[in-house]
Every structure is written in structure tokens, then in C-alpha cells.
Amino acid sequence: MPATVPFAATDIANTPSSRAGSPADPADPAGASQLDIAGELLSLLRDTTTEPRPDAQLEALTLAVAADLPVLLWGEPGIGKTAALTQLAESLDLPLTTVIASVHEPSDFSGLPVLGDDPAVQGVPMAPPDWAVRLVRAGRGLLFLDELSTAPPAVQAALLRLVLERRIGALQLPPGVRIVAAANPRSSAADGWELSPPLANRFVHLQWTHDHEVVVRGLGGTWPRASLPRLDAQALPAAVEHARRAVCGFLAARPTLVHRLPSSETRRGGPWPSPRSWDMTLSLIAFATAAGSSREVLSLLVRGTVGDGPALELLAGMDRMDLPDPEDLLADPAGAVLPERGDLRQAALDAVVAAVRKRPEKSRWDAAWALLVRALETGAPDLLVVPATTLATPRQEDWDVPASIERLAGVVTVSRRADRAADRAAARTAVPVQAGR
């Protein structure tokens, strides 16, 4: 009995174009096969354009790669981690080498033993894999270690030397090679493992997410083209000094955060503070400062090295570190430049009032009022209520009230009335709730 052939296969087999020597389909004068036509359709689908669009994730990744620090991208499957690495490699003009960590043995990273003529004399050299040899020959490249969270503990242990020392067996990777890895959370990884603390502490961890608008426009044919950050050569010494002052000043005030190994296994597989990760943080702050990066990018980088809690404390300390000196503001209130951000402006004004209260003098008191007027002209008036109320306290009887106070009196009165109205509205809203209990 002849074997049964699926309908689609017999249909194709009986078409004139599939029989040897048969003429081309009259409806297709070019004589193109179905695969040729399918190739044209695929070309049309791949024919897309790009548009410039800022991308904080890609900027943070680029700065970490430029700082020669290993980066680990965390994200759910299918959100574009590999595509981002491909775009980065093209933008930096680096050949991309992809290694799936989970399908390799530990010896693939530590080196394969090769017997020589006389092992007792020459020893047994550890031969590197072919992809490592290609990277050394090229002298530069982007090594992408994919599926890191599905690599078993033995493979993770073998990766320690590769990630930190850039050695594979007896082979030393050249300085022009950068290392980036990708991993899925254990809940969405195929037979996933938590990262070991020694391996996790060697990476800058970046959470990779997708942007709904980017995906929609990309599927419509227009994908984003991120502009990579550029370092200012003139700002390098100042950037290093700024980074060292920020990290060293913070750790001097918070010595318990120099090294803090998390208690849970999951958190140990992410970013946490250690002397190694603080050293990476210092480098990243210097690179972000030299590139003029935004606070969002800096936050991504710092949180990716020492974790959320220590990073937020450090960033808050850096904000206070960058505040203007209260004495400089009091010396020239008319030409003072106050921070744009509301919380920083509030802190600067509070510092000025505290300086006047610490050394109350008529000239300093008048200068502080002039500074509040300056702040009223250049920012939100709500920020002046607390400083103005506090500044009125140290006035002495022989001090004349400056005329500038008249411009601030209305702001304080309106703000207080608004607060009282809000309190009354909240009280009225709370009464029915209490009655229904």
C-alpha cells in the first residue's frame, strides 16, 4: 500500500512549475518560484525606517559598556534584550559574539585540558573555545552571554573568572572586548536558577522593559534610533573628583553600607553593596557626569550596582552635595542662582534660613528676605511659606521690617488660607464616614 502523502504536498507536486522541464506559469511571466515571491514579501516586512528617540535604558547600558563594566540585562522573554545588544554593537562598531551560557559545560569557560608531549614537564594547558580565539584575533568585540539565569551553579562558577578577569583557560581577552549578559527572572526562565552572590556582585544589573509606544510605532515600520552619550573630554578631571567626593563622603557617613550581603537568596542574585560594587558605582558616576546624563540614567546605573536602598540614599546625598553654599547666596541674593527642582530649592532656602538663625545679624536677615523675593520671582511661591515663616522668628526689636516682606505677605496668607480650606474639606468628608460606623 503506498504511503499517504499530505494534501498540501501532493498539490505542490502536481503543479506544472514543480515538474521537471515544465514551462513557467503564464500568470508569472518572470518565472519566479513561490520561495522567490516569499522572499520579496519578507524584504518588504523588513523594510523599516528609524527616528531619533531618547532612551534612558540604552544610554545607561552604553555608559556601563564604555566604563568596561560587565552588564546584566534582566527582563521577561521577548521584550528586545537581544535586539538592543545588536543595535548597541552596530552603533559602537563592535563585532557581536553570542554565547548561550546554559548550553555549555564548565570546561567551555575554564578551558579544555590538552595533553602535550610531556605533561610532567610542560603541564596540561587549558585550551580556550573557538569563539574566544576569534575575539582575541579581532582584538575587540561585544561578548553577549545569553540565558545566564538558566546556567547551573557549576557553569556560573566557571564564569566568575571570565567576567572578572576576562580569562578563558590560558587565554586573556584583550581590553577591547566588552561583556554583556542577559537573564530572565527565575519565574519566567526555563529551568531557572538564582545567580550566585559572587557572580551577581560582578555585574551592573539593568532592568530591561518595553515601551508600548515604541513597540506600536516599530510594528508600523518606524523603530527608534537612540543617540549614544558622548563624553566631554574637558570634564573628565572634574567628573572623577565629583564621583570620588560623592561615594567617599557617603560611605564615611554610612560605614555599615560598605558591605552588606542580603539575607534572602533572591536578593543575593541581584545588586548589593560591597567594596567591588562601590568601585563600579564610582566609575559609573564619573562616566554619567562626563556625559552630562540625566538623573534617570544615573539612578538606573547606581541602583544596578548597589541596590535600591543604598542607591537612593547616595542620590539624596549627591543632591545635597550639589546645593549652593548658603553663605554665597546671602552674599549676593539679587544674583543668586537657585536649583530648578522644587525639593532642592526648598532645601537651599531652608539652609539659608538655618544659617541666619545660627548667626543672626541685621544685614544677613535682610539678605535672606531679598533671597526669598528672588525665589518668588523665579519659582513656585508655595515653597516660600515655611522659610518665610521660620525667618520671621529671629527678628529683633531694633530691626526694621524690610519692604520686601510686603511682596511675600500675600503668598503666605493665601497659602495658609488654602491649607485651612483643605483641612475643613477633609473634616467634612470624614464626618459621614464616622457616622456610618
Q: What is the pLDDT of residues 166-191, one digit of tens each?
A: 988 888 999 999 999 998 886 665 56
Give the lowest-confidence range in 209-213, 242-246, 314-318, 391-395. Answer: 391-395
Instruction: List, for residues 224-252, the tens digit of each pLDDT value.
Output: 877 788 999 999 999 999 999 999 999 99
Give the lowest-confidence range in 119-128, 241-250, 415-424. Answer: 415-424
Give Cβ neighbours of residue 430 (< 8 Å, ≥ 6 apart): none
Report residue 73 as a C-alpha cell.
540585562
Tally of helices (H runs) and strands (E runs) in the chain: 20, 11
Give the lowest-confidence range in 47-61, 241-255, 357-371, 410-424. Answer: 410-424
CB atoms within 10 A of CB 180: 26
The answer to whether the beta carbons of residues 69 and 90 sit under 8 Å apart is no
Q: How confident is the model at residue 436 (pLDDT cuts 50, 70, 90)?
A: very low
What pLDDT score was predicted for residue 181? 93
The answer to whether the beta carbons of residues 135 and 177 sit under 8 Å apart is yes
Report residue 191 as a C-alpha cell.
529551568
Report residue 71 as a C-alpha cell.
552588564
The answer to whether the beta carbons of residues 260 and 273 sit under 8 Å apart is yes
- Percent of the chain exceeding pLDDT 90 equals 32
More confident residue, 377 or 269: 269
What pLDDT score was predicted for residue 21? 45
Report residue 227 as a C-alpha cell.
543617540
Instruction: List, for residues 59-84, the tens digit of each pLDDT value.
Output: 999 999 999 999 999 988 888 888 88
What pLDDT score was predicted for residue 30? 58
Place of cell 464626618: 431
Nearest-angstrom CA–CA distance, 166 and 419: 61
Nearest-angstrom CA–CA distance, 46 and 218: 11
What pLDDT score was predicted for residue 437? 42
Instruction: List, for residues 187-220, the tens digit of each pLDDT value.
Output: 665 566 788 899 999 999 999 988 888 889 888 9
What pLDDT score was predicted for residue 2? 47
Report residue 274 as a C-alpha cell.
560591597
Supply the DSSP symbol for 202. Answer: T
Q: How confident is the model at residue 221 (pLDDT cuts 50, 70, 90)?
A: confident
Cβ neighbourhood burial of 89 (10 Å; 0-12, 13-18, 19+)? buried
Nearest-angstrom CA–CA distance, 29 and 336: 79
Please provide the average confidence, as pLDDT, over all residues in the chain.
82
Residue type, 118: D
Say if strands 112-113 and 126-127 run parallel, antiparallel, or are unpaired.
Answer: antiparallel
Out of 217-221, 225-229, 343-347, 430-434, the most confident range is 217-221
Nearest-angstrom CA–CA distance, 234 and 105: 46
What pLDDT score was predicted for residue 22? 47
Residue type, 222: T
Report residue 347 as a C-alpha cell.
532645601
Residue type, 419: D
What pLDDT score was predicted for residue 117? 67
- Its CATH architecture, for the domain 49-113+124-225, is 3-Layer(aba) Sandwich (3.40)
Report residue 115 as a C-alpha cell.
595533553
Helix (H) or strand (E) holding 86: helix 81-92
Give the lowest-confidence range in 105-109, 327-331, 347-351, 397-401. Answer: 397-401
What pLDDT score was predicted for residue 421? 45
Out of 85-99, 237-251, 327-341, the most confident range is 237-251
Q: How confident is the model at residue 407 (pLDDT cuts 50, 70, 90)?
A: low
Q: Provide the angle, in degrees to the nearest 10, between the axes of the packed helices 342-358 and 308-321.
A: 60
- On the question of pLDDT at 48 being above 90, the answer is no
Measured at the CA of 103, the angle between CA 98 and CA 107, to 5 degrees, comes to 95
Nearest-angstrom CA–CA distance, 124 and 303: 43
Give Cβ neighbours of residue 63 (< 8 Å, ≥ 6 apart): 229, 284, 287, 288, 291, 293, 297, 301
Supply the DSSP symbol for 380. Answer: -
Give the lowest-confidence range in 111-120, 218-227, 236-245, 386-395. Answer: 111-120
Q: How confident is the model at residue 418 (pLDDT cuts 50, 70, 90)?
A: very low
More confident residue, 227 or 313: 313
